[in-house]
Amino acid sequence: MDTSFDPSLLGARISHDPSVEGKRNVKHSQDVDTRPNHRQEHSDLPQLSNGQTRSPTIFVVFGAQGDLTKRKLIPALYNLALSHHLPQEFAILGVDVVPVNTEEFREKISRDIQELSSHPIDTTIKKWLLDRLHYLQGDFRDPHTYERLQAMLTQLNETYGTRENYLYYLATAPTFFSEIVQKLGAQGLVEHRKDYYRRVVIEKPFGHDLPSARSMNHAMQEVLDESQIYRIDHYLGKETVQNILVFRFANCIFEPIWNHRFIDHVQITVAESLGVEHRGAYYESAGALRDMVPNHLLQILSFVAMEPPNTFDPEAVRDEKAKVLRAIQLMHPTDVLQSTVAGQYEAGSIDGHSVLPYRSEVNVDPLSLKETFAAMTLHIESWRWKGVPFYLRTGKRMQRRSTEVVIQFKSAPLMLFSKTSVGQLTPNVLVIRIQPDEGISISFGAKIPGPKVNVGTVDMDFQYAEYFGDAPSTGYETLLHDVMAGDATLFQRSDIVEAGWSVVDPIVKVWESLGSHAIFPYVAGTWGPLEAHTLLAKDGRTWHDHN
C-alpha cells in the first residue's frame, strides 16, 4: 500500500493515475544484449508526474510455466508497465523444470498476454516487457540450479542495472517453499543489505493448520528476516478491500458509528458459482474452511474490525490486524456445533446449465466428506465489538459469484412513528462489494411522497468502474507494486498467519471428528445448506438478499 499517496486516492492509485493517460505510445528499444559487461541504454518508461519510481528489480519467478504465472503474474506486470509503475531498470527471470529456452519462453508469454487480455494490447509496452524476459531451466531441488541462477542474476544485473535487487516469487506448490528458500540461502542469494534488497513472496496456503504454519514460519525465518517475507493474499489486492481503510478512517461520518453502539451485526460472504474445477485433489486435502477462512475471510474481517492505526506505516497497520484476530473468541467443541455449518454441493443448475455434484468431480473421492461450504458466527472480545456477531460464509457452486461485506446498523426507535402508518423501520445497511462489481452502497429510509407519513428504503450506490473507469486488472498489480516498494501493509505477518489458524483449528477438529454428521448437502446454484440460514435465523437475522 503506497502511503506516500493521499489516502483518499488509495483505491485508484495504480490503475487510474491520470498523470499517465495518453503516454502509452512512447518508443522503446528493439534489442537487448544479455551478455555480461555489455550494458545497453534502454528507452525510459515515462515517469509519473510526482517523480515516483520503484526500486530497480529482477523479478524471479519459480514456477514460471505454471497457471499462476500465466494468468496473474505476467498480465499484472504488463498492466504495471502499461501504467508506468515499473522501474526502468527491470528484468524478469522465469525458473522452471520445463526444458525451453528464453526465446521459446518469450513466444509463449507473448501468446498468453494476447489470449488473456480483455483490453487492446499496447504492442510497444508488450515488447518492452518481453525484451526483459528470460528463462532458466532447472529442478528446484537441484543445488546446481541455484549456482546457475546466481550466475544468470549477475549477468542480468549487469545488463539492466538492477543494483542487485532480487524479488523471488514462489509460484510453486507449497511443498517447495521451504526447500527453495533454504537453497537460495545456501547460495547466498537472499542476503539482505542496506544497499540492495532480497525479498521472497509466497502464496497461500501458509500451512494446513497451526502446527504446520508455525513450522513453515520457523523454516523461513531460519534463512530470512521477517521483513523479507511477503505472504500474499490476492483478495487484498482488490481495490475495494484496500478502500475499507480509507472509507473508515478518512470519513468522519462513518468512524464514530463503527462500533457496537450502532452496528447490529456484520456479514462477510465469499461465494463462487464455479465448482472445484481442476483443483479436486487440492480440495480433498483442504476443503472450504482451510482454503478460504484463515486467509481471505479473516483478512477482510481484520480490515473491517481493526482499531485505527497511528499511521499507515505497514507495521502499525499489521499490528492492529493482529490484535483483532487475537481478540476473536476461540470456540470450544460445543460452540462449534452451535455456531458453524459445513456443506457439500450436490447436483444442480447454474445459469441454466446442469452441474455435477462435488463427489463426481475429477480427483474427488466418490465418498468424500470434505466440505465445499463453510459458515460460522464469530465474536470479537473488544470494547468496540462487544456483543456484535460477525457472520462469515464461503462456498463453491453457489447461486452466483459474490464477495461482499454487509454492515447492518441497529434499528431506530419506532415510538416517533407510533401514530403514523409506519409499521416498522428497516435498518440501515452498508454493503461493500468486493467482486465482481466493485463498489459501495448505503440504504436508508426516506419519506414516500404523499399526504401520509410512509417510509421507504432508498439506495445510494457507488461503482468503481463508473467513477474511475474499467482499467485492466488481475488483482495482483497493487501487491506486486508494493513488494517492489518494500511496503508490507497488505501482506500477512507470521503472527497474523498463526492467529488465523488459531481460530480455524478448533472448528476443523470437531468437523473431522463428526465425519458425515458434520456435512449438510446443498443443491448447486443455491446459497448453501438450509442450516446456514438457520444459523442466523436463531438470532433473529437473515443473510443479505443477493437477488
Counted domains in the chain? 2
Q: Are residues 246 and 189 in the same domain?
A: no
- Dist. CA 336–CA 371, nearest whole Å: 15
Question: What pLDDT is recorded for position 454?
Answer: 67
Q: Are residues 471 and 325 in the same domain?
A: yes
Cβ(234)–Cβ(479) under 8 Å? yes
- Indicate if the alpha-carbon torsion angle 380, 384, 386, 391 is positive or negative: negative
Cell of 50: 510526482
pLDDT class for 444, splitting at 50, 70, 90?
A: confident
- Residue 17 maps to a domain: no
Cell of 477: 498489480
Question: What pLDDT is recorded for position 244?
Answer: 92
How large a percentage of the chain has pLDDT more than 90?
74
For residue 113, pLDDT over 60 is answered with yes
Q: Are residues 449 and 373 in the same domain?
A: yes
For residue 317, pLDDT over 80 is answered with yes
Q: How far is CA 61 from CA 16, 98, 153, in A?
A: 27, 13, 12
Cβ(142)–Cβ(20) under 8 Å? no
Enzyme catalytic residues:
296
Query: 56, 50, 48, 129: which is closest to 85 by C-alpha?
Result: 48
> What DSSP string describes 114-140?
HHH-SS---HHHHHHHHTTEEEEE--T
Question: What size, in residues, is the chain?
Answer: 547
For residue 11, pLDDT over 70 is answered with no
For 186-210, how does the pLDDT look when each residue is reduced to its tens digit (9 = 90+)? 999 999 888 999 999 999 889 999 9
Q: Are residues 307 and 178 in the same domain?
A: no
User: What is the average pLDDT across 212-218?
Assistant: 95
Q: Are residues 243 and 142 in the same domain?
A: no
The separation between CA 411 and the C-alpha centre of its own chain, rounded to angstroms, equals: 33
Question: What pLDDT is recorded for position 29?
Answer: 32
User: What is the average pLDDT across 168-174?
Assistant: 95
Q: Are residues 248 and 178 in the same domain?
A: no
Cis peptide before 99 (omega within 30 of 0): no
Question: What pLDDT is recorded for position 498?
Answer: 97
- Residue 137 maps to a domain: yes
Q: What is the mean pLDDT of the chain?
A: 87
Domain boundary among 157, 180, 203: 203
- Residue 9 maps to a domain: no
CATH of residue 141's domain is: 3.40.50.720
For residue 213, pLDDT over 50 is answered with yes
Cβ(239)–Cβ(438) under 8 Å? yes
Question: What pLDDT is recorded for position 419?
Answer: 61
> What DSSP string describes 166-211?
EEEEE-S-GGGHHHHHHHHHHTT-S--BTTB-EEEEEESPS-SSHH
> What DSSP string describes 299-319?
HHHHHHHPPPPSSS-HHHHHH
Lowest mean pLDDT among 100-114, 234-248, 264-278: 234-248
- Residue 492 maps to a domain: yes
Q: Are residues 333 and 191 in the same domain?
A: no
Q: Are residues 249 and 158 in the same domain?
A: no
Query: In terms of pTM, does the model score above 0.85?
Result: yes
Residue 135 lies in domain: 57-203
Query: 149, 152, 173: which is closest to 63 by C-alpha?
Result: 173
Cβ(346)–Cβ(523) under 8 Å? yes
- Dist. CA 500–CA 495, nearest whole Å: 9
Question: What pLDDT is recorded for position 511?
Answer: 96
Cis peptide before 436 (omega within 30 of 0): yes
Q: Are residues 291 and 169 in the same domain?
A: no
For 295-310, how does the pLDDT look when each residue is reduced to its tens digit (9 = 90+)? 899 999 999 999 999 9
CATH of residue 382's domain is: 3.30.360.10
Cβ(502)–Cβ(509) under 8 Å? no
Cβ(29)–Cβ(131) under 8 Å? yes
For 61-70, how does the pLDDT look when each residue is reduced to its tens digit (9 = 90+)? 999 999 999 9
- Dist. CA 226–CA 223, nearest whole Å: 10
For residue 218, pLDDT over 80 is answered with yes
- Residue 259 maps to a domain: yes
- Residue 387 maps to a domain: yes
Q: Are residues 269 and 193 in the same domain?
A: no
User: What is the average pLDDT across 18-24?
Assistant: 35
For 220-236, how does the pLDDT look when each residue is reduced to its tens digit (9 = 90+)? 999 999 999 999 998 88
- Residue 214 maps to a domain: no
Q: Are residues 363 and 286 in the same domain?
A: yes
pLDDT class for 422, splitting at 50, 70, 90?
A: low
Q: Are residues 63 and 185 in the same domain?
A: yes
- Residue 46 maps to a domain: no
For residue 39, pLDDT over 60 is answered with no
User: What is the average pLDDT across 491-514?
Assistant: 96
